[in-house]
Amino acid sequence: MDSDESYLIVDIDSRTTKAILVEGAAGGYRLAGVSETETTMEAPVLDVAAGVKTTLAGLEEGTGRKILDGDRPSVAHRFMASSSTGGGLHMVVGGVTGIISGESAQRAALGAGALLMDQFSKDDGRPQFERVARLRSLKPDIMLMAGGTNGGAVTQVLEMAEVVKTADVKPRFGEEYPLPFIYAGNVEIRDRVKKALGEDRYATKMVENVRPVISEENLGPAKEGIYDAYMEHVIVHSPGYDELLSWTEEPLLPTQAAVGRLLYAYVEARRVNLIGVDVGGETTDVYSVFNGIFNRSLNADIGITYGIMNIVKETGLPNVMRWLPPEMKEREVRNTAGNMMLHEHGSLSPDQKNVQAAVAREAVRLGMEKHRGIASRLKGTLVGRTLSDMFNQAIEDTIIDMSKTDVVVGKGRVFSDQTTLESAMILIDSLEPVGVTEIMVDRSSIMPHLGSLLGVNHDAALQILVEESLKSLATLAALSGNAREGEEAVTVRMTVDGSEIVDSVKVGDIRIVPLGADEAAEATFIPHRRLDLGAGRGKQVKKRVQGGEVGLILDARGRPLNRFRKTPEAST
Amino acid sequence: MSTLQLQEDTVVRKERRLPTEGEALVKPGDHVEAETVVARGVVENPDIRELRVFSSLGVSPDMAKNYMLKSTGDDVGRDEVIAIYRSFFGRSTKVARSPIDGKIENFSPVTGRAIIRGHPIQMDVKAHLPGEIAELIDGEGAVVEARAAVLQGAFGLGGEARGELAFSLDSPDLPLTSGEIKAEHKGKVVVGGSVVTVDALHAAARNGVAAVIVGGVDQKDLTEFLGYEMGVGVTGGEDLGFTLIITEGFGVNPIDDARFSLLKEHEGRLACVDGTTQIRSRIQRPEVIIPL
């Protein structure tokens, strides 16, 4: 399909404003140019639109296209934007029961791209005054409160509303304006909730219940309510955004929401299960789509620059040291990590690279630990148990199943600082997938842009994602189960370019079989009778495997992983 | 090369703000000393208590409102009766008493609970450096202006401190050990060398040193001294007994020559330091101001 349409898309984070131009081309769409400059929301400029114009001028110069028309983008291109300035969208959520309505509210907020400052509920163990004091100290951008099924709890919901009223919570920016408050609980008591919150104290918005009945979760309307409040009440208080909004008819999304939407669309198109991790300097985001259910979690202050010492604090130094060469001692590791927090480094020394790779593994591992709790089955519902469940002691609460993860995507600076092999190993070591999994990284950092584009041109967004953004590093075949060290763990047979390749790996080892990024093969895996490649112990697996810059990785180190410094051996 | 600020002679404008509304005690043009109080206000008392009035009275939550003697906004004394319930024709009396001196911040007629907060606390903001009041910040404080030499550090712990600049080492390449920190350094800002040892940190606290400025510290030693892992790079509230400013970074790092020379040039003069650090988008580095 050829198209004359072109799209000008901007993402603004606290430090960088990045613009891309996507235009129609033979066979669909192409990325015509990328430009970035510093964000100008802080003093002395105090006008985010100024930075956008500079970026667009750079794009004009780089592409030779007419991008600016005077003081605004040319109407020849459809303009869209996403933003995470000011550290992103800060939210507080509440519910009657922490693990039921509270969890649903939490999932809605995180799914909408928010950074969660706190979650409060009737059963959170805090006395009322502490909730009031805490709420008063928080200053979020938006509050979301759920509670009660439709026709269900009344008194507890009203009590929580009264706590909010007493706290008189002020917004982070623009204290003179009322804080946006979204109610997504029992719809039958909306008027009473509004009254309990106090007239005009909050900019209250009523949306559909996130838990209309106990066995059902409905997050869409709450997320939309958050986007609306973000546009109408939050972003307008930041300097320059009013001008930006006058250039577009499209909603301005929080950056993380745009990334989440894009990953979800990619999964829908491929019908796979996916885990995406975004390792930033200050935060680590985890996205997942399992059986069509999207979840996002965020570990604030866990990152590889500003958040690096917090990783050491949260995971403990021994967990970082286990990934490092034995010659690196504690003092060296601590000082290297500490200095990576204090100073920005253009290029990294070998020691810094080692430390970055180690803390990135722990950042993702900590992020995934939290994510399992967020991506959980609905609490408060009846769970049917089979006879075998009785022997399993417990049913997993999480919907994440690492043996059914088809695709893993890594995003963030660490994946460009490290080699492709190390990038793949960071994702494998921290997530420990089992079975056959594609390992990819984002190479161009344009996912937020494509997430914005998705709303107006689905096909263009997915085409650019696949062609320009996602890079296949490897396909991983990883085994679980116990077998004797040194025995053959799995044998793979596949035909590549007319030649048959047969290779195998021994228990305890990890091995790379060459399979280029532009190659794919029908592979047959024959595991050891005691080992499982996702189909059951000893069961053969036939699967089409995609190559990558690293190749096909056979991982027989076992799960959970207890061999931490194992270097993959290369097949000859 | 470090991007941290180093200015030999500049005009410093320091905003001195209360964390709350208050009043300025100075006026534009006034000369102030470092210890002059420039603004005074009151802050909310963090001591806040919840009183389950209904429980003390033995009535249902929604009935408690009928027995209240005090209302939201009323001052109350410690042990003062704020609600009373008489039954059996006055033979049985139950009361709810305030656990602290303060004010009833809220009483909920739905939950039957009262929130009582201690009386506000007076808070003063000092000038921090000698200079002239350049302007007032409406209801919050003032801007102090002064000529000074200014240098930023990479990382600090502890808040504002002031004292005479003192040297116990002649070279920025030497480590600052406990032997170099003596009783004569009490109340002074001690400039060290390439690294401060954990024993020297203890000696600084023991001898009442106002601040230590040094090139580096081993992150392991700092963790041991603090007694906990530092976590995120947001500091300023630590209670070490002194302020610590690291000019270069973690590990053994001699103080940069230009910084060391500037500090040495002003030996014996007043140094106004602040260890507050925030390594984030809105970055804040620790600083040393030497009024000229």
**A393-412: average pLDDT:** 85
- φ, ψ of residue A116 to 5 degrees: the values are -85, 120
Query: How many Å lie between the alpha carbon of B232 and the closest alpha carbon of chain A?
Result: 5
Round to whole Å and give the CA distance between A565 and A570.
16
Which has the closest alpha carbon to A403: A435, A437, A425? Answer: A435
Q: What are the domain boundaries of chain A?
A: 6-85, 88-237, 257-378+388-469, 479-572
The verdict on a CB contact (< 8 Å) between A335 and B219 is yes
The sheet with strand A142-145 has its strands ordered as: A114-121, A89-95, A142-145, A179-183, A202-206
**Lookup: tokens for A208:** 């559909």
The DSSP output letter for A502 is: E
Best CA proximity match to A476, nearest among A559, A565, A354: A559
Q: Which amino acid belongs to residue B162? A: R
Contacts of A335 in chain B (CB under 8 A): 218-220, 249-251
Best CATH choice for the domain A257-378+388-469 from the list 2.170.130, 1.20.1280, 3.30.1380, 3.30.420: 3.30.420
Work out the pLDDT band at B88, boundaries 50, 70, 90. confident
CA distance A557 to A479: 8
The whole-number average pLDDT for the span B76-100 is 90
Q: Please report, in angstroms and rounded to a whole number, the separation of the first and last CA atoms in chain B.
A: 27
User: How, if at all, do strands A89-95 and A78-84 pair?
Assistant: unpaired
Q: At what angle do helices A128-138 and A155-167 cross, to 10 degrees?
A: 50
Cβ of B115 within 8 Å of Cβ of A343? The answer is no
* Pairwise CA distance, residues B149 & A353, whole Å: 37
pLDDT class for A131, splitting at 50, 70, 90? confident
Q: A440 near A471, Cβ under 8 Å?
A: yes
Would you call A307 an interface residue with chain B, using a CB distance cutoff of 8 Å?
Answer: yes
Length of chain B: 292
From residue B67, alpha-carbon distances to A159, A164, A259, B62, B93 in Å are 21, 25, 56, 11, 11
Pick from B155, B279, B283, B284 the residue to mutate for testing the A interface (most A CBs within 10 Å): B279
pLDDT digits (tens, 9 = 90+) for A462-501: 999 999 999 999 999 999 999 999 899 999 999 988 889 9
Q: Per the CB < 8 Å rule, is B280 touching A313?
A: no
Helix, coil or strand: residue A477 = strand
Burial state string for B243-276 with b = 16 or more CB within 10 A and e = fewer than 16: bbbbbbbbbbbbbbeebbebbeebeeebbbbbbb
Q: What's the confidence (pLDDT) of residue B1? A: 43
Express the helix, strand and coil content of chain A in percent, nearest 5 each. 35, 30, 35
What sign does the CA torsion over A516, A519, A520, A524 have?
negative
Looking at residue B138, what is its pLDDT? 83
- Indicate the pLDDT class of residue A301, thresholds 50, 70 and 90: confident
| Contact indicator for A554, A515 with CB cutoff of 8 Å | no
Amino acid A167: pLDDT:
86
β-strands B81-87, B141-152: how paired? unpaired
Mean pLDDT of chain B: 92
Bond preceding residue A73 cis, omega within 30 of 0:
no
pLDDT computed for residue A383 by the predictor: 56
What is the 8-class DSSP label of residue B67?
Answer: G
Other Cβ atoms closer than 10 A to A390: 8
Q: Do residue B218 and residue A312 have CB atoms under 8 angstroms apart?
A: no
**Tokens at residue A548, please?**
């990558």
Q: What percent of chain A has pLDDT over 70?
A: 96
Rounded to an integer, the average pLDDT of A534-557 is 94
Residue A497, both tokens: 């370019």
Q: What is the pTM for the complete model shown? A: 0.85
How many angstroms away from the CA of B279 is the closest CA of chain A?
Answer: 6
Mean pLDDT of A426-452: 95
Torsions phi, psi of B12, nearest 5?
-95, 135
Inter-chain touch A335–B49, beta carbons under 8 Å: no
CATH architecture of A88-237: 3-Layer(aba) Sandwich (3.40)
Interface test with chain A among B116, B222, B280, B282, by most A beta carbons within 10 Å: B280
Residue A112 has pLDDT above 70, yes or no: yes
- Residue A393 binned pLDDT confidence (cut-offs 50, 70, 90): very low
B221 pLDDT above the threshold of 90: yes
Which residues of A are less than 8 Å from B108 in CB distance?
A: 128, 162, 166
Q: Where are the alpha helices (DSSP H) in chain B?
A: 53-57, 198-206, 219-226, 257-265
Nearest chain A residue (CA) to B282: A42
Query: What are the tens digits of pLDDT across the range A182-212?
Result: 999 999 999 999 999 987 889 999 999 999 9
Q: What per-residue confidence (pLDDT) applies to A387?
A: 54
> What is the model's pLDDT at position A230?
86
Same fold, A6-85 and A88-237: no
Smallest Cβ–Cβ distance between B48 and the set A129, A282, A312 belongs to A129
CATH 3.50.30 assigned to B153-291? yes
Q: What is the pLDDT of residue A3?
A: 61
A84 pLDDT more than 60: yes
Segment A62-83 mean pLDDT? 93
- On whether the CB atoms of residues A338 and B219 are closer than 8 A, the answer is yes
A14 and chain B in contact, CB less than 8 A: yes
Quickly tell me which residue has 């300025």 as its tokens. Answer: B24
For residue B281, the chain A residue with the least C-alpha distance is: A14
Q: Where are the domains of chain B?
A: 48-118, 153-291
CB contact under 8 Å between B50 and A127, yes or no, is yes
- Quote the CA–CA distance of A298 and A119 in Å, as a whole number: 14
- Residue that has been written with the tokens 């593994």 in this structure: A361
Q: List pLDDT tens digits, range B14-63.
A: 999 887 778 999 999 999 999 999 999 887 787 888 899 999 999 999 99
Show Cβ contacts of residue A516 under 8 Å, excluding neighbours closer than 6 positions: A547, A548, A551
Q: What is the largest CA-CA distance in chain A?
A: 76
Which letter does DSSP use for residue B71 in this model? -
Would you state the pLDDT for residue A385? 54
Q: Please tell me which of the candidates B108, B229, B232 has its beta carbon nearest to residue A306.
A: B232
Contact (CB<8Å) A306/B50: no
C-alpha dihedral (A549, A552, A555, A561), degrees to nearest 10: 40
The tokens 């790379």 sit on which residue?
A512
Percent pLDDT > 70 in chain B is 98
SS3 B36: coil
Here the tokens at position A402 are 């690492």
Q: Cβ of A341 and B233 within 8 Å?
A: yes
Within an 8 Å CB–CB cutoff, is residue A133 touching chain B? yes
Shortest Cα distance from B33 to chain A (angstroms)? 30
The CATH number corresponding to B48-118 among 1.10.390, 3.30.2420, 2.40.50, 1.10.3470 equals 2.40.50
Q: Report the pLDDT averaged over residues A380-400.
A: 60
CB contact under 8 A, A339 and B251: yes
Chain A positions in Cβ-Cβ contact with residue B232 (cut-off 8 Å): 301, 306-307, 309-310
Chain mean pLDDT for chain A? 90
Sign of CA dihedral A123, A128, A131, A135: positive
Nearest to A306 among B154, B155, B279 (CB): B279
ipTM of the complex: 0.83
Closest Cβ–Cβ partner in A301, A330, A337 for B232: A301
Instruction: Indicate whether A567 pLDDT > 90.
Output: no
CB contact under 8 A, A87 and B155: no
Report the CATH superfamily, name and number, of domain A6-85: ATPase, nucleotide binding domain (3.30.420.40)
Q: What is the mean pLDDT of residues B63-83?
A: 94
Q: How many alpha carbons lie under 13 Å from residue A136 in its C-beta half-sphere?
A: 14
- Closest residue in chain A to residue B49, using alpha carbons only: A129
Q: Name residue B114's beta-bridge partners.
A: B51, B107
Residue A536 region by backbone torsions, left for phi larger than 0, else alpha for psi between -120 and 50, else beta = left
What gap in Å lies between CA A92 and CA A66, rounded to an integer?
Answer: 43
Which residues of B have a CB under 8 Å from any CB of A?
A: 46, 48-50, 106, 108, 110-111, 113, 115, 154-155, 218-220, 223, 229-233, 249-251, 279-282
Summarize pLDDT for A87-111 with one digit per residue, the tens.
678 899 999 998 899 999 999 999 8
> Residue A236 pairs with which residues in a beta bridge?
none
Tokens encoding A234 = 């939050």
Question: Cβ separation of A343 and B154 shorter than 8 Å?
Answer: yes
What percent of chain B has pLDDT above 90? Answer: 76
Nearest to A486 by CA among A402, A546, A558, A387: A558
- State yes or no: pLDDT of A280 exceeds 70: yes
Q: Is the pLDDT of residue B113 over 70?
A: yes
Report CA torsion sign: A553, A554, A557, A561.
Answer: positive
Measured in angstroms, the CA of B167 and the nearest CA of chain A are apart by 26
Widest CA span of chain B, in angstroms? 86
**pLDDT above 90: residue B270:** yes
Residues A129, B115: C-beta atoms closer than 8 Å: yes
- Are B233 and A133 within 8 A, CB to CB? no
**Token pair in block for residue B240:** 């070490």
**Is B49 in Cβ contact with A128 (below 8 Å)?**
no
**Alpha-carbon gap, residue A54 to A40, rounded angstroms:** 10
Alpha carbons A482 and A167: distance in angstroms, whole number: 55
What is the percent of chain A where pLDDT is above 90? Answer: 66
Interface residue A309 vs chain B (CB under 8 A): yes
Chain A nearest-CA distance from B80, in A, is 20
Identity at B87, one-letter amino acid code: S
Could you say which of B50, B223, B282 has the minimum Cβ distance to residue A128? B50
Nearest to A541 by CA among A467, A452, A476: A476
Give the A:B interface size as CB pairs under 8 Å.
87
